[in-house]
Chain A
Amino acid sequence: MKLPRPAWRARLRAWFHERLPRTDTLTLTQRKVYILPTRAGGMLALTLVLLLIGSINYQLNLGYLLTFLLAGCAAVAMHVTHSNLRGLTLHLQPPAAVHAGQAALLDIRLTNDRRSPRPGIALGVSDDATRDHWAWIDVPSQGSAQLQVAWPTPARGWQPLPALTAITLFPLGTFRVWTVWRPASPVLVYPAPEAHPPPLPPGLPQPGQSGSTHAQPAGEFDGVRAYRRGDPLKAVVWKKAAQSFAAGRNDLVSRDAQTSQQHQLWLDSEQCGAAGLEARLSRLTAWVLLADRLGLDYGLRIPGREIPPGQGTPHRNRCLEALALC
């Protein structure tokens, strides 16, 4: 049962995080690492007090030895916990763009240049919603380890990454050592694609090219022909290929590329049929993805920006970026 944390704590946390400089590579020095006893540490302290009282009351010198050895171990453990994090280097690799609603996967490399390993280090996003979701990892001695932290993206556009927290409880769990890190790189969040978009709009006749049009009637998108060397794999009609394989032949069939090139496909926010900016962007995003999957040439027209028709991953990303930043 988790109680909601009071608002002032969130404000305090925000104020504290604001003060931290943003950086993509952070080496944890003495000043950046914080330590406090955990609840288990409190229990251990209570145990020590009770053991001491027992030793005094029954005048057990061996009891003193036991108590003090345990106290010594706890003191050493405090130092071990602290040095487990201190000196570690955190590095964020440039995060890949995601669609809104998807979790951004932050690739973080933890580098340890000391001779002993640093086991049991956890990373997580430091906000209330995800405060118990930790990704655990052991960093080997004089090596590095890669860790992914998922962060549910709130909205489209360039989003600054949230502050990340690294903690460790190793070895006894009596102290919690942590640091807060604000990565500098933002993550690009594309609009969320519409779940069930309507079919792509019909292509517009290409101006100035009507003469060279072949006999194929307009709008016939699924015309096919025999596979020719050099056809992109995307153009292969795999369904038919599977049928012919099943029949014992080796024929491949390609979509007739010319059909898709005779008409320019424009994805236009004015003509997409959705109401509201976000709904339009969402539909356009779905169409961009669909057109890219189908290997079509497409252009994008959104308020204030027009991207001429094109094809391929860079084109798709340019379109998506334009949609994200609209």
Chain B
Amino acid sequence: MLKLLPRDTRDTLFILAVIGWIVLMQVPHLPWWTSTIAAGVLVWRAVLTWYQRPLPRWTWRVLLLALILGATWWTHRTLLGRDAGVTLIVALLALKTLELRARRDAFVVFFLGFFTLLTHFFYSQSLLTAAGILIALLGLLTALVNAHLPVGRPPLWQSARTAGGMALLGAPIMLVLFLLFPRMAPLWGMPNDAMTGRSGLSGEMRVGEVASLALNDDIAFRIRFDGRPPPQQALYFRGPVLSDFDGQRWRALRMPFPARTPAAADLQVSGPPVRYEVTLEHHQRPWLFVLEATPEAPPLEGDQARMLHSLQWVTERPIMERLRYRAESYPDFRHGPLQASFGLQAFVELPPGYNPRTLAWAQTLREQVGNGPDFSRRAVAAVMDHLRTGGYTYTLEPGVYGTHTADEFWFDRKAGFCEHIASSFVILMRALDIPARIVTGYQGGEINTVDGYFTVRQRDAHAWAEVWESGRGWVRVDPTSAVAPGRTGSFDRLLAPENAFTGALRNLNPTLAAQWRNMWEAVNNRWNQWVLNYTQGRQLDLLRQLGFKTPNWQDLVTVLAGLLVMVSLAGAGWQLWERQQHDPWLRLLRQLRQRLQRLGLETADHMPPRTIAQLVTRHFGDTDFSRSVTQWLMRLEALRYAPQSADSLGTLRQAYRQIVWPSRAPD
């Protein structure tokens, strides 16, 4: 079919297909109208090409351009910025095809296409995206090569082969530049919207919020432990601590009120530390996730981490790209004031008018437990016991909670997940006048058996409680573990909805599915570690391995320039070598001819060994010398032209050295 089309039609259809592919990849991030217009224009153009009709008049293009600009303004309220820019560039790429006359406009489409390719990376830098982009890149290059084959009707695969060959040869250049091109900070301020739409823990908690995260299979961070990893139950990664409750919503304590300033963290650690490396995905928050408890700041490049009073580690700037750091944590730790102090007052406050039944139950509980020196501990034990035996269940679909969330949890629904349980627990503790607060973060993780990395996902987001006990400080209490022992410390997690392939695979062979998943994640992790997370730090590590003592970015430039000089010198050397005769057989023959010339026998370039042999016999007569030269020449001839030859170049060189040359030319 394709072979029957005229060349221009075929070329245009091919370019349209490549553009279609580029736009198709972008569709999930485009407003509906952009996709519609782009598809419409491309199909229209294809139909015109197919029937070889003339292109529409310029009025159509102006009309469409006005429509696109108007719609972009209507959607984004601006023509600048990332999202509006992406919308515009995709629409313009499609529009440009309306004045595409195969070869001539290939360039404009080519360069516009490249910009569009780059915009894909705003949304995803996964392996699959990279594969899709590579296909599009090869498609564009193929179209361009094809445009520079003006004669006849060369098949497209020929252009594709040239393009593929160029890409293959260009790959080493890409690799060197990628490894050594100095990574620098953004040249100017980035638009605000650059980083929107990426999920993670938020700084506050409202019932129902962690639920959305619980279904989110995205990776929050990865960990590699030095040595044995701690047990799953001990993997509490601390995030924001929420202490301020307004009846609906938990927030972090507001610091501006000095009276409410809680006591300092006062962290004391003991026992052996756990050492590990975290690769944190960007989450647009200044939070570092480390195991409880980490006394020393994890070293970061270009940023400074500090610990809040709540034991949480934060950075100066939000984390906008994947970040890797090492940390040391002590599972044995104690923190918070040991004696009741004024700052603790903030942690027993409850908003009036909420959860009356819980408050009433607290009164009853207080009487049941009875006053005493370790009232807090006994109260916690009683409540945990109640949770364990009171028929409470763990569910990710507890339904919508109303105003009195704690009341509903304790008495009506008796079902919920970590945030309901932790929130209700802390409210009850505060009703008992025990200082308590909510800690959010991640708990657990999954070990990937392929590469030994622990993977912590968004669905591992967790909320637990901390209760202050006199003499012990803040003590972690995880009420969820009382309700659902499986929630903490188990590999069996609720899995996110699967796609058709993994679903089918799981039905067929569960272990294979798990293996496949592990493999895929290991590959992805390598991709993240080596491609996406290749920072200046890693570049400098590379230089260190190359022998630089204290590398800096100038050294990168030096190495790059050095490589460039070396490659140029190699190229020049190759040129020099190419200019000389480098067929060893011919070189050997020329060696002989030069020697003969010195003896007074001129031979021409085109003469084969046999002719030279005849000349030698004629010139020098039937002497030993001419016989040996003739014999050598015949062997040389056989080496190249006989079906089989006993000689090699080496033996011939040896034989050449054994020729006895006459001292001077015969008279």
Chain A residues with CB under 8 Å of chain B are: 29-30, 40, 43-44, 47, 50-51, 53-66, 68-77, 80, 119-120, 122, 136-138, 169-173
Task: Report the Cα distance A44→B144, complex, angstroms.
Answer: 12
A contact patch SS: helix
Residue B194 is within 8 A (CB to CB) of chain A in the complex: yes
Residue B167 is within 8 A (CB to CB) of chain A in the complex: yes
Complex partner residue of A171 from B150, B166, B173, CB under 8 angstroms: B166
**Complex contact B194–A58 (CB within 8 A):** yes
> Which residue of chain B is the closest to A46 with respect to CB atoms?
B111
Chain B residues with CB under 8 Å of chain A are: 107, 111, 114-115, 117-118, 121-122, 125, 129-130, 133, 137, 141, 144-145, 147-152, 154, 162-163, 166-167, 169-174, 177-178, 181, 184, 186-188, 190, 194, 320-321, 531-534, 575, 579
Given A68-B173, A72-B169, A73-B170, A60:B151 Cβ within 8 A: no
Task: Report the Cα distance A27→B458, complex, angstroms.
Answer: 67
**Complex contact A173–B148 (CB within 8 A):** yes
Given A69-B167, A71-B177, A59:B321 Cβ within 8 A: yes
Of the A-B pairs whose beta carbons lie under 8 Å apart in the complex, a sample of 29, sorted by A's number, is A30-B575, A47-B114, A51-B115, A51-B118, A56-B186, A58-B194, A59-B321, A60-B125, A61-B533, A62-B129, A62-B130, A62-B532, A66-B117, A66-B137, A68-B174, A68-B177, A68-B181, A69-B137, A72-B172, A72-B174, A72-B177, A74-B170, A76-B166, A76-B169, A119-B154, A137-B151, A138-B151, A171-B145, A172-B141
Task: Report the Cα distance A30→B531, complex, angstroms.
Answer: 39
> Which residue of chain A is the closest to B142 with respect to CB atoms?
A171
> Which residue of chain B is the closest to A79 with respect to CB atoms?
B169
Complex partner residue of B171 from A63, A72, A171, CB under 8 angstroms: A72
Task: Looking at the assembled complex, report how far the CB atom of B169 sits from the nearest CB atom of chain A, in whole angstroms.
Answer: 4
Task: Report the Cα distance A60→B535, complex, angstroms.
Answer: 11
**Complex contact B532–A61 (CB within 8 A):** yes
> Which residue of chain A is the closest to B106 with respect to CB atoms?
A173
Given A47-B114, A66-B137, A173:B107 Cβ within 8 A: yes
Given A69-B137, A69-B170, A59:B177 Cβ within 8 A: no
Task: Looking at the assembled complex, report how far the CB atom of B133 sits from the nearest CB atom of chain A, in whole angstroms.
Answer: 7
B contact patch SS: helix
Chain A residues, Cβ within 8 Å of B190: 57-58
Task: Looking at the assembled complex, report how far the CB atom of B24 sits from the nearest CB atom of chain A, in whole angstroms.
Answer: 18
Task: Report the Cα distance A64→B154, complex, angstroms.
Answer: 33
> Which residue of chain A is the closest to B147 with respect to CB atoms?
A173
Task: Looking at the assembled complex, report how far the CB atom of A122 sits from the nearest CB atom of chain B, in whole angstroms.
Answer: 8
Q: Rank and list the top 4 A-B pairs by shortest CB-CB distance, nearest first.
A: A72-B170, A72-B173, A68-B177, A68-B174
Chain A residues, Cβ within 8 Å of B162: 80, 171
Task: Looking at the assembled complex, report how far the CB atom of B408 sits from the nearest CB atom of chain A, in whole angstroms.
Answer: 45
Given A65-B531, A66-B118, A80-B166, A75:B148 Cβ within 8 A: no
Beyond A61-B532, A172-B141, 16 additional pairs, beta carbon < 8 A = A55-B118, A60-B122, A62-B121, A64-B177, A64-B178, A65-B531, A68-B174, A69-B167, A69-B170, A74-B170, A76-B173, A80-B162, A119-B149, A138-B149, A138-B152, A171-B163
Chain B residues, Cβ within 8 Å of A59: 186, 320-321
Task: Looking at the assembled complex, report how far the CB atom of A272 sits from the nearest CB atom of chain B, in whole angstroms.
Answer: 48
Task: Report the Cα distance A119→B579, complex, angstroms.
Answer: 24
**Complex contact B141–A73 (CB within 8 A):** yes
Given A63-B118, A80-B166, A57:B107 Cβ within 8 A: no
Task: Looking at the assembled complex, report how far the CB atom of B476 sits from the nearest CB atom of chain A, in whole angstroms.
Answer: 36
Given A40-B107, A61-B531, A62-B531, A120:B151 Cβ within 8 A: yes
Task: Looking at the assembled complex, report how far the CB atom of B344 sits from the nearest CB atom of chain A, in whole angstroms.
Answer: 43
Chain B residues, Cβ within 8 Å of A80: 162, 166
**Complex contact A54–B152 (CB within 8 A):** no
Complex partner residue of B148 from A68, A76, A172, CB under 8 angstroms: A172
Chain A residues, Cβ within 8 Å of B107: 40, 43, 173
> Which residue of chain A is the closest to B322 with respect to CB atoms?
A61
Task: Report the Cα distance A71→B188, complex, angstroms.
Answer: 24
Task: Report the Cα distance A138→B107, complex, angstroms.
Answer: 22
Task: Looking at the assembled complex, report how far the CB atom of A37 sits from the nearest CB atom of chain B, in whole angstroms.
Answer: 13
Chain B residues, Cβ within 8 Å of A56: 184, 186-187
Chain B residues, Cβ within 8 Å of A74: 170
Task: Report the Cα distance A53→B145, complex, angstroms.
Answer: 26
Residue from A57, A60, A69 having most chain B Cβ neighbours under 10 A: A69
Task: Looking at the assembled complex, report how far the CB atom of A177 sits from the nearest CB atom of chain B, in whole angstroms.
Answer: 12
Chain B residues, Cβ within 8 Å of A43: 107, 111
Task: Looking at the assembled complex, report how far the CB atom of A153 sits from the nearest CB atom of chain B, in whole angstroms.
Answer: 27
Given A72-B174, A119-B149, A120-B150, A62:B125 Cβ within 8 A: yes
Task: Report the Cα distance A315→B129, complex, angstroms.
Answer: 77
Task: Looking at the assembled complex, report how far the CB atom of B178 sits from the nearest CB atom of chain A, in whole angstroms.
Answer: 5
Chain A residues, Cβ within 8 Å of B531: 61-62, 65
Given A43-B107, A47-B111, A65-B178, A58:B121 Cβ within 8 A: yes
Chain B residues, Cβ within 8 Å of A63: 118, 121
**Complex contact B149–A70 (CB within 8 A):** no
Chain A residues, Cβ within 8 Å of B178: 64-65, 68
**Complex contact A70–B169 (CB within 8 A):** no
Task: Report the Cα distance A119→B162, complex, angstroms.
Answer: 11
Residue from B170, B186, B187 having most chain A Cβ neighbours under 10 A: B170
Task: Looking at the assembled complex, report how far the CB atom of A149 sits from the nearest CB atom of chain B, in whole angstroms.
Answer: 15
Task: Looking at the assembled complex, report how far the CB atom of A300 sits from the nearest CB atom of chain B, in whole angstroms.
Answer: 45
